[in-house]
Structure 1
């Protein structure tokens, strides 16, 4: 992680964090976060799988360690907030790395605190002054947690089917009825209150996407003394039993139950603006999902590497039949080395991609940065957002499966955590919009259906800058060639998609969207790995570097750009050919008519 901060993204220069004090604060916060992640968080990880959250007498029971973990997180978070108030706030790139450590330690627990910061932003942006004054302080000092409540049974990702209803009363209040399903961290007893941010209709006659509003719905309303204790009629009907993430209570919530009204507070000044308000949540939600996935993948990768270094089995291939040949740690066998390089490429590449988003967020938020830099950062960030969510969650599953394979038979047992990592990470390709939805979002909204290539051209220009530097080393020529070839194949595929749109065959593109997204993800990862390799080669040439560390950076990049990236280029050319056939068929029909 230090390599990313100080060498690859050089935050002492790019963000002006060049004082010894600033660097010391960042490194101290990183060290404290790592100690907590590798200590109490990681030590409770297996327990969260064995003590699955469940419902008893109307209340959700969590793993025994959670109250203590929540207290520890609250204390650490308070220290960071105090630092931010004193002008030493951690930049997003550092925050993303710290959150990854927490996810690697115990991702299930982190669901209980993960929505609090976005909830504060949503409340500040759209809540009235009175609503912020009444309910904001408990979010700030973590006496309340927050949940996003969108999904309903039978609706899934189709928001047009939502039916929860907030009815306006004569006195101006809104009363909420209906249900929400699969709400992550939807109920617990660790805090004074839980705030549900609920997407609901205000007119039962309206259908489709129109008429959806966002409401703050507290579990307990606040009485005249300022205490969180007025029952707001929210009941937990079920805690679902799941394949993984067992310490996270995914709840079925009912509103207006037991004859108790559920009062809801409208965000914004008018009804029907809920979707627009929640758009500000989409960016942090996608990044957060990517960090969830990366944390689990990193944990699986690291534990499998440690296991492979101490597990002695088998002999060198050319001495396999020799009785005198020594057995080796399995890490020295070629196929285990291949698996390690695959895992390292995906985890380090995704980590760099997410770090870049954090860096670009700082650029976008800083009006003192050059305007062209801010525009480029925005263009590239918009392209990367669905990739961060979809690609990272897809590859996390691959990494976890590879980690199990590295362990051999014991990887299939509960004695080792890789199998839990795999079960926990699978849902991440489904929640916050399935990865197919992300692929459609990428094609339609971010790439402008490939008819408006501005953002993609900005990304390509940034990659070309890296290619030029890598080419100058003289040691990465094959890797540079392969990335340029993949970019050319991407150009063929996007041109074919554009032609499908132009010739009225747009509906044929979605079948290729996931493959296009995956290949673009591989290109982005290759970009970051090549950038790291170019920096590593310079460090090795200086003679003062940690030779093994930097040589591994080069090996990882070469492995990915020579073994994995050509497969993506071939995939892009295959789907380009398929789409070209679609266009040719359409043109033939048009001419025949």
Structure 2
């Protein structure tokens, strides 16, 4: 039973976002860089990804969880039995090459397309996909900052997933406090650095799927300042390279422990030692020390977006599994026949509370997907503009304003994608289990595993509180004048102005308009707190503000989709299946705006109260115990 495919995906939803809502063919594919990418080729990739997920990844999702990973006495890590074959098939299908740049033998697909493909593959088997997950981010990092030698040695290998990569930041005493890192880098006469230290919680940190692993290690060179200002970034291979650039002898990287985790059992989460048993050498990224965090910023943002995509892929499959189960699970009579002993039993999908739960899941899945596609679309546009104008150093060139608009939306939405999607994926998995009832809690069905696998995503790549702090501090200027908030507000306002005369969704448009105004008012209130020197209060409510902004953004995107669906329904050539799809889009928007968006108003009421109970609490509040009752 464990070798059956449990993954589900609906590609009609993908097509709607690509061609009807974001009009990628008109707005993106007309660029000369994408001459090889048409609607037909992109849909071909999506169908191929679905088939690959159904045949090769979804079939070992549950069995890999049961097999787990083991660390042998010799330090070797064994992975779930199905992963070796799946890796060979993954590489042969060139999935890693899809998003890699052409100069490294990649396919150079638009970012928005590669991320849609990633949702399918990551949702089908997240533990497996982690082993290749850092290949492209590491490639882009090395390509941007690395020497020609590093590029020649690593980039093409990463593009093809012949080698893999992983990020090594966390240490036992330095989790969120990155400035406390102790791993040392000692410069050698030949320009390399001897690396000494330990890293924990390293996802896919040790395995033999790839011929080599490129560890991206954050360390402190000898003599560097304390704190984050003294950190540098190094490329550390698992195996040293010979004169031909091929893996040769061990480079002193050893796995000393695998973590026992709540979920993602198929991913080897490793405690690694660098240079503590034998010498380990790394290579500085760039031509100067002490800029490691700056260099890693782009890679970390890509990883945060990927975290949201992992969450969406699993949450979407959990929802579709629940809908499928509810359609076939017969239990109870229709509530209108509750007192009729002869009433026929009906599938639970006809019960109003089950429909309520399914609509919440559906609206959140569709909303988070639209959110991620919007970010990915703007990232694609920003990358195109950068590439087209790579040689223009004029800081006042007209193209820079257009680039700012696209990159600004990406920067603004990244913490929201990471935090809100991972939080809601957990909620969606819990609701899907509830639809199944007792069957959702047992291991025969995938729901309990989705819940276990999803939970880490609110912690990965910076906890969700850190995302809200980043949103307020670095994106929204702590409530003061924010160019990014103006950019966002102008976009939503233009949308509302365009559709102000709509009669069918009039009340939803009005609710969104009120919610946007409330969001702006809450932001201004925090700016007032800054003037009153109440800075600490902002971080007491920053998580709520991020949720408010997510709910406004998703309502906007769902309503945009509903208006498109409304127009499509009026077309004379819409068949019954298409009509049902479009009607479902409208119901998703209405449900979300009527049931989720009002949270914006209640959260603002909480924020306005300026509650200081959390600020006034201390360790005694939580840890004091009477000797009599301790």
**TM-score, structure 1 as length reference:** 0.94
Q: Indicate if the aligned counterparts of 2:263 and 2:452 stay in contact, CA closer than 8 A.
A: yes
Distance 2:232 2:201 in 1: 20
- Counterpart among 512, 530, 552 of residue 523 in structure 1: 552
Give the 3-state SS of the residue equivalent to 1:195 in structure 2.
Answer: strand
Distance 1:372 1:126 in 2: 25
Distance 1:42 1:449 in 2: 43
1:558 aligns with 2:558: no
What do the CA deviations read for 1:458-482 (whole angstroms, capped 9, x no partner)? 1112112322344333101111111
Task: Pick closer, same or farther for the CA change 1:196–1:512 going to 2, 3 Å.
Answer: same
1:473 aligns with 2:505: no
Distance 1:228 1:134 in 2: 10
State the partner residue of 1:26. Answer: 42
**TM-score, structure 2 as length reference:** 0.89
Q: Indicate if the aligned counterparts of 2:99 and 2:109 stay in contact, CA closer than 8 A.
A: no
Distance 1:82 1:184 in 2: 21
Task: Pick closer, same or farther for the CA change 1:17–1:323 going to 2, 3 Å.
Answer: farther
- Counterpart among 55, 63, 66 of residue 80 in structure 2: 63
Task: Give 1:317 shift.
Answer: 1.6
Distance 1:97 1:281 in 2: 19
- Counterpart among 238, 246, 249 of residue 230 in structure 1: 249
State the partner residue of 1:15. Answer: 28
Q: Indicate if the aligned counterparts of 1:470 and 1:531 stay in contact, CA closer than 8 A.
A: no
Q: Indicate if the aligned counterparts of 1:165 and 1:204 stay in contact, CA closer than 8 A.
A: no
Task: Pick closer, same or farther for the CA change 1:580–1:218 going to 2, 3 Å.
Answer: closer
State the partner residue of 1:310. Answer: 328
Give the 3-state SS of the residue equivalent to 1:314 in structure 2.
Answer: strand
Task: Pick closer, same or farther for the CA change 1:71–1:305 going to 2, 3 Å.
Answer: same
- Counterpart among 302, 307, 310 of residue 284 in structure 1: 302
Distance 2:504 2:259 in 1: 54
Task: Give 1:218 shift.
Answer: 0.4
Paired residues, number:
581
Q: Indicate if the aligned counterparts of 2:472 and 2:542 stay in contact, CA closer than 8 A.
A: yes
Q: Indicate if the aligned counterparts of 2:29 and 2:38 stay in contact, CA closer than 8 A.
A: no
State the partner residue of 2:16. Answer: 3
Task: Pick closer, same or farther for the CA change 1:134–1:80 going to 2, 3 Å.
Answer: closer
What do the CA deviations read for 1:220-255 (whole angstroms, capped 9, x no partner)? 001235431211111100000000011111000001
1:430 aligns with 2:449: no
Alignment of 1:16-95 (within 5 A): 16-17=29-30, 22-57=38-73, 58-77=75-94, 80=98, 89-95=108-114
Alignment of 1:575-590 (within 5 A): 575-578=607-610
Q: Indicate if the aligned counterparts of 2:106 and 2:159 stay in contact, CA closer than 8 A.
A: no
- The two structures, once aligned, show a CA RMSD in angstroms of 2.2
State the partner residue of 1:186. Answer: 205
Give the 3-state SS of the residue equivalent to 2:377 in structure 1.
Answer: helix
Give the 3-state SS of the residue equivalent to 1:271 in structure 2.
Answer: coil
Distance 1:184 1:354 in 2: 23
Distance 1:104 1:130 in 2: 36
Give the 3-state SS of the residue equivalent to 2:206 in structure 1.
Answer: coil
Alignment of 1:263-342 (within 5 A): 263-342=281-360
What do the CA deviations read for 1:233-287 (whole angstroms, capped 9, x no partner)? 11100000000011111000001133x2101111111111111111121221111
Task: Pick closer, same or farther for the CA change 1:82–1:103 going to 2, 3 Å.
Answer: closer
Q: Indicate if the aligned counterparts of 1:120 and 1:136 stay in contact, CA closer than 8 A.
A: yes
Q: Indicate if the aligned counterparts of 1:380 and 1:456 stay in contact, CA closer than 8 A.
A: no
Larger displacement relative to structure 2 (147-156 or 472-481)? 472-481
1:122 aligns with 2:141: yes
Distance 2:579 2:254 in 1: 59
Task: Give 1:95 shift.
Answer: 1.1
Q: Indicate if the aligned counterparts of 1:149 and 1:197 stay in contact, CA closer than 8 A.
A: yes
Q: Indicate if the aligned counterparts of 2:537 and 2:610 stay in contact, CA closer than 8 A.
A: no
Task: Pick closer, same or farther for the CA change 1:220–1:384 going to 2, 3 Å.
Answer: same
Distance 2:364 2:45 in 1: 26
Task: Give 1:325 shift.
Answer: 1.1
Give the 3-state SS of the residue equivalent to 1:542 in structure 2.
Answer: coil
1:449 aligns with 2:478: yes
Distance 1:164 1:520 in 2: 38
